[in-house]
A and B are shown apart, each in its own frame.
Chain A
Amino acid sequence: MFEFLENLGKTTRSSFAKLGRSTFFLGHTLMGIGDVLPRPSLLTKQLYSVGVLSFLIITISGLFVGMVLGLQGFYTLSDFGAEESLGVMVAASLVRELGPVVSALLFAGRAGSALTAEIGLMKATEQLSGMEMMAVDPIKRIITPRFLAGFISTPLLATLFSAIGVVGGHMVGVGLLGVDDGAFWAQMQSSIDFQEDIINGVIKSIVFGFVVSWIALFEGYDTIPTAEGVSRATTRTVVNSAFSVLGLDFILTALMFGDI
């Protein structure tokens, strides 16, 4: 019994300590923005490795998700004779939910885990420490550009995901299953609201990009500098990112679309 209480106390304490460390870390990272912006080459390099290199996985996944939506949507809607609304269904699900959420999850798996492992190994091989001894602040020099890159690329990747998804839905719905081309686009155009749907979706993916980049970089920076420590930190990045993205998605959806 006592042991249980003791462990509970220890876990709570270390979780709060970690929360505190991560908040300081975030503050320090954000303070570095002023130093990074005058040196765009630091940022473009990271935008390439974090954003551009995620293009392929986002495009292919977006295409397949859109195609599946087209299939499933068609079967359900045709029961009600409403297959012309397929365009709306595909676009609304993608822009509001699947685009931001799935692309953030893919981003966490593709780029987040890579960031954690990279920073963790830099710590393990004393590169961060070495930078400190060269009077260079590793957070501003290493972490901030990566954070900004993650934060900038996620909304762009989510938008790409949704756009390709709509193409996939069109391919299956119009090309394969014979939904009317004009109705597909016209219904989508009249029902999808720029403010309500698209902007809210982009806001979601901005929030997700912020959180996933923060988690990934902090886990890397806070890692125990051993092989096992880096592997655990990478796992934690993917798991915690997934939880945060899904949990935040519920909260944001409730705030944006719900009447809760």
Chain B
Amino acid sequence: MANRPSPDKPIVKVHNLSFSRGSRKIFDGIDLEIQRGKITAIMGPSGTGKTTLLKLIGGQLMPDHGSIHVDGQNVHRLKSQELFNLRKRMGMLFQSGALLTDMDVFDNVAFPLREHTRLPESMIRTLVLMKLHAVGLRGARKLMPNELSGGMARRVALARAIALDPMMIMYDEPFTGQDPISMGALVHLIKSLNTALGLTSVIVSHDVQETAAIADYIYVLAEGKIVGHGTPQQLADSDSQWVQQFMNGNADGPVPFHYPAPDYLDDLLAS
């Protein structure tokens, strides 16, 4: 790859992105950059389209306006074969794990290797065991997905996401619904994998404490716009009301506690 962009250029560059679902505007002209080798978090209240952003970066959805470049390529201009080639270098960890339920753990991790490579079975076995060992589940290789706890399923999915040694992994809400121990394990894994494998990680999350602990840079989304960005320290010191409400978990603020509704008294008296 002769025209590979230099390592200090951002790996993902989102420019003036707009996207709507039906009449609801989800993104309204957002710009963001994800630096190579770093852990970047995209945070915001639920329903702000964080998962949608990952699907846009992965080329599963088309934006209304704006562009997304991944590793120098405009994702939405690629032909489907080129997009597939790009996706082989991106891993994505779905919130549910998205494991294939008709295969055991071993076959799930082997799935991308068998689909995309012609490696002999003995080498696939070695690779799969290495990936499973990295997430601490080498002993669980015979289990079926329905026998796994939520945290284990996510770790298997993580092993599968790193099976092809991608350049970047996108995590969709990795901490949601985890007990403190699995949460700790995941936080540690994301951080150590990022360093050990020289990955770039993108975390979409609303778990402020865990994410802030490992992220190098954070973007805060609200109402289709980026309301704040910076290192965790900078955000903690930010004087933006949006950022303060989100980082401190206040019930009311720029994001109102009440869903838009007619006046309370009028509503009660109307019948």
Contact = CB atoms under 8 A, between A and B. Distances in A.
Interface string A94-137: 00000000000000000000000000001001110111111111
Contacts of A133: 58, 60, 87, 90-92, 94
Contact of A130 (B85, B88, B94, B116): B94
A135 B98 contact: no
B115 A136 contact: yes
A127 to B, nearest CB: 5
Interface string B80-95: 0000110110111011
A135 B58 contact: no
Query: Could you say which of A126, A129, A133, A141 has the most chain B C-beta atoms within 10 Å of its C-beta?
Result: A133
B111 interface: yes
Interface string B99-132: 1110000000001100110000000000000000
- Residue of A122, A134, A137 with most partner-chain B CB within 10 A: A134
B94 A134 contact: no
B101 A125 contact: yes
Nearest to B116: A135
Contacts of B92: 130, 133
Contacts of A134: 87-88, 111-112, 115, 160
Contact of A135 (B87, B99, B100, B157): B87
Prevailing SS type, chain B contact patch: mixed
Contacts of A122: 101
A34 to B, nearest CB: 15
B98 A126 contact: yes
Interface extent on B, as a size class?
20 to 34
Contacts of A131: 100
B96 interface: yes
Contact of A125 (B58, B88, B98, B116): B98
Q: How large is the interface on A (under 10, 10 to 19, 20 to 34, 35 or more residues)?
A: 10 to 19
Contacts of B116: 135-136
Interface in B49-85: 55, 58, 60, 84-85
A135 B96 contact: no
Given A134-B87, A135-B87, A129 B60 contact: yes
Given A134-B111, A135-B116, A136-B112, A126 B94 contact: yes
A122 B99 CA distance: 10
26 contacts: A125-B96, A126-B94, A126-B98, A127-B98, A127-B99, A129-B55, A130-B92, A130-B94, A130-B98, A130-B99, A131-B100, A133-B60, A133-B87, A133-B90, A133-B92, A133-B94, A134-B111, A134-B160, A135-B85, A135-B87, A135-B112, A136-B111, A136-B112, A136-B115, A136-B116, A137-B84
Interface of A: 122, 125-127, 129-137, 141
Given A127-B98, A129-B94, 6 more contacts: A130-B92, A133-B58, A133-B60, A133-B91, A133-B92, A136-B115
